[in-house]
Structure 1
Amino acid sequence: MSLFIEEQELNRLPVTIDQDTMSGAPVFQGTRVPVDALITNLEAGLTLDEFLENFPSVSRDQALQILEFSKSTLLKLAHKS
């Protein structure tokens, strides 16, 4: 199964991918915080507020945009099956 994500949708994400920053790992725009840190912290049981306290350079809006993108992508997968 393949999933098509519009380039415009990706460009609206608050994410930067640059080989010179964190070896090319996707990071929150304007930070060196890997996007993966959000998911990892939530998996570990931290709340969104706790994550934001631990990573003050990430805004609530940035984190919510990533979570909404993840949710909508998973919903697209569900509708494809």
Structure 2
Amino acid sequence: MQQDLKQWIVSDPKIMMGKPVIRGTRITVELILEKLAAGETPEQILESHPRLTHDAIQAALAFAVEVLRADVVYPISEAAS
């Protein structure tokens, strides 16, 4: 999977401040995840960003999984009542 991600996801400090993007675009993995989390369908995302493909969206999701597998603890604070 790591090799597949490298063909889709790149990070260059000169592009979007180094955030991971879909190769050949300025569309960040973060943007794709935000849109999916907000309830947009992959078809709606593709309509808004014609340079994307279904495979690119899947690669963004796979990249997020790989990043979250790292041995890092992400504390989630409770909202103040």
TM exceeding 0.5: yes
Q: Higher helix fraction: Structure 1 or Structure 2? A: 1
Q: CA deviation at 1:64?
A: 1.6
Task: Supply the distance in 1 between the matched residues of 2:66 and 2:9 (Cα, whole angstroms).
Answer: 17
- Quote the residue 2:73 is aligned against: none
- In structure 2, runs of 5+ residues without a counterpart are 71-81
- In structure 1, runs of 5+ residues without a counterpart are 1-7
Question: Is it true that 1:30 corresponds to 2:24 in the alignment?
Answer: yes
Q: CA deviation at 1:63?
A: 0.9
The list of structure 1 runs, each at least 4 consecutive aligned residues, that deviate by more than 6 angstroms after superposition, is none
Question: Is it true that 1:48 corresponds to 2:42 in the alignment?
Answer: yes
Count of residues in Structure 1 that have an aligned counterpart in Structure 2 = 68
Identity value in percent: 31
RMSD across aligned C-alpha pairs, in angstroms? 2.3
Q: CA deviation at 1:69?
A: 4.7
Q: CA deviation at 1:62?
A: 1.2
- With normalisation by structure 2, the TM-score equals 0.68
